Amino acid sequence: MSFLRNRAGIIIVGAIGFAIVAFLVSDALQVGSSFITAGQTEVGEVDGEAIDIVQFNELVEQSSNNFKQQMGQTNLDPQMTAYIIENAWNQSVSKLLLKKEMVRLGLQVSKNEMNDMVTGKNPDPQIVQNFGDPQTGQVNRVQLNAFLENVKTQPGDSPVSLQWSAFLLNLRDNKIAQKYGNLIKNSIYVTALEAKEDYGQRNKLANFNYVNLDYASIPDNQVKPTDQDYTEYYNENKFRFNNPIETRNFEYIVFDANPSKTDSAEVIATVQKVAADFRASKNDSLFISINAETKLPISYVRKGQLDPAIDSLVSRASAGSFVGPVFSNGVYKMAKVLDVKVGPDSVKASHILINPASEGGIDKAKAKADSIRSLIAGGASFAELAAKFGTDASKDTGGDLGTFGRGAMVPAFEEAVFNGNTGDLKVISTQFGVHVIKINAQIGSSRVAKVALLDKSLSTSSKTQQDAYKKATAFLAAAKDDKSFDEEAKKLGYSKVLADNIVATQASVQGLNSAREIVRWSFDADKGDVSNQVFEMENKFAVAKLIDVLKKGTLPLEQVKKRIEPLVVRRVKARMLTEKMNKALTGSSSIEQVAQKIGKPVTPVQNIVFANPVIPGLSQENKVVGTIFGSQPGKLSKSVEGEYGVYAFVVNGFTNPAPLTNVFKQKVQVAQGIQQRAAGEAFKVLRDKSEIKDNRVKFF
């Protein structure tokens, strides 16, 4: 107690201090937690404004679904997925960049402008597309006004209201982007002097004779650049080594698990058994659904639609024949020819698609489709009913699907239009909904075969996979660091593959098609690190080592030295050949004398223009052609270092074009060329001047 009494003040102060510190630490942890959470939900930032991962994923999913529908696929390969993600990223970044620029410039779309875009005399093309009359091409005002009245009666969070709000937002964004584009376009001005200069560069002709010493005449192994050579080239070309985004260089060793001879023999035995069972099958659709890998529907095909290895066999086969198995691109294929007949090559058709989900079920959708069919059979306009009841994009064209060949539509739809007659009205169901179909025309005729197709891939056995994986894991266990990775690879005779300038979002690298995991690892590793796992990609396993981290900005000489080595070697060659050319030029009064001294022929060139600086038979030589157009006729040139070699020339003469009679037209033509590039260049400048953080590697 005496101890507590004597030190009560210190204890109280300490307790209060501890409470304050605890409070501050707790607050800091909460703030830090918000930062951590933000990092987990932000796919990137543009000048501090976040790109939310949820919204970004929605954009990616929407684009993916569009691609799947357009390409008729259920899955997308890694390259296509990477393209979609990159496209979604560019859209998101450009939207934020333009938003920021619009605020800076004060560009807006007023309420009156929005009203005019929807209900004005000249509505936006998207309004015309969605509410247009297919017969007149004009907006159906009755339909548009009815829709707008319906929106007013809907709650703000209803699907119709949300979709309409998103549609209006898109109209506004497009209008602002159009204003910005016009602002840039109208700021471009071409002077009369610039127009005349461009006309001359495209039409003035030069005729000249030249000799050259090409760089290939000196073997690379005879050239030894010095450190000074590298430094001089680097300092003169520093602007070329700006790294716009952070990249990685890594080496990797691949352990293939391709099918072995034993695997091939086992697959062949399986294929032969499946073929025998397929021949004897009484229910081909069921057999294919159980045994085939791609499970293609039974349908009529014409010559040229199948894989070439089996196509010619099927096209010659009679009904009841069995074709195959044949091996093509790693897959065994076989076919049953169920029927052969002559049918149309293509069909022109229209349809009205009814969505069962919005009609209360498939039965109600079919009943509605039957009613629509009856109306059309009674003389009602197919186009008008399509515009009124259709639920896909074809309603805007009166249901017209155009002309299409076999294989363009889903099997049930194709069966209906290719096996019917011109003028038929049919109601069918597919995975897209219920269709009212009208066959407008059937074009051409050719032999078609109804084919049941079955395929089996030549796959790798689990033993072969395990053997390759064991080799990879054994190597990984031995290659613990940078040095042992190289030593172990050399000892075992493994070849290292270089993946250089890899960006964080890359989907594939040389030799590896599904490389997202190894790329993601490289962006989470430090220079010299060996991967902490074996990466599995289809029939390949890989172990990697990160050899360099290339930061955003100007790269140092040591990181670009290997890349610029061929250019530095060429510069040293140019110095050697220039010395040789200068000796030949000394005391020479003609190009023929120079040619004789260096043992090279004189080559004549006719009608070269400044705007297309290509020397026939060689390459594009900007510096050489530019020097030619700045030279006097009849005067022997000095040596000129080009892209292909070192040159000397003499200009025989220039042919000037006819005088420019319409300067205004030329100004417009030059301006149009600039305007085509202006929008892209403006966006590039906005991007370069902004602080953009890309966190996609954390999510994809």
Rounded CA-CA distance 650/595 in Å is 12
Domain ranges for the chain = 8-103, 107-186, 205-242+558-655, 245-258+461-551, 261-342, 346-443
Residue 559: which pLDDT band, with cuts at 50, 70 and 90? very high
Residue 73: which pLDDT band, with cuts at 50, 70 and 90? low
User: 587-616, pLDDT tens digit by residue?
Assistant: 999 999 999 999 999 999 999 999 999 999
- Which among 697, 556, 683 is positioned nearest to 180, based on CA atoms? 683
Rounded CA-CA distance 548/101 in Å is 37
Q: Supply the mean pLDDT for the chain.
A: 87
Mean pLDDT of 431-450: 89
Residue 572: which pLDDT band, with cuts at 50, 70 and 90? very high
The pLDDT of residue 72 is 63
- Which among 86, 96, 118, 121 is positioned nearest to 173, based on CA atoms? 96
The rounded Cα 461 to chain-centroid distance in angstroms is 34
- Which is more confident, 270 or 157? 270
The pLDDT of residue 667 is 93
pLDDT over threshold 50, residue 33: no
- Which is more confident, 642 or 159? 642
Mean pLDDT of 258-269: 90
In contact, 309 and 333? CB cutoff 8 Å: yes
- Count of CB atoms situated within 10 Å of the CB of 522: 27
The pLDDT of residue 71 is 67
Share of the chain above pLDDT 90, in %: 48
pLDDT over threshold 80, residue 21: no
Mean pLDDT of 50-77: 81
Residue 11: which pLDDT band, with cuts at 50, 70 and 90? very low
Q: Tokens for 580, please give them.
A: 């040789």
Mean pLDDT of 365-381: 90
CATH 3.30.70 given to domain 245-258+461-551: no
Mean pLDDT of 295-321: 86
3-state secondary structure of 328: strand
User: 222-233, pLDDT tens digit by residue?
Assistant: 999 999 999 999
Fold matches, 245-258+461-551 and 346-443: yes
Mean pLDDT of 209-218: 95
The rounded Cα 628 to chain-centroid distance in angstroms is 41
User: 240-263, pLDDT tens digit by residue?
Assistant: 999 988 999 999 999 998 888 898
Helix segments in 586-662, DSSP class H:
591-598, 622-629
Domain boundaries 346-443, corresponding CATH code: 3.10.50.40
The pLDDT of residue 614 is 93
Mean pLDDT of 654-683: 90
Mean pLDDT of 393-407: 85
- Which is more confident, 69 or 380? 380
Q: Write the CA distances from 540 to 96, 330, 467, 629, integer angstroms.
A: 40, 16, 11, 56
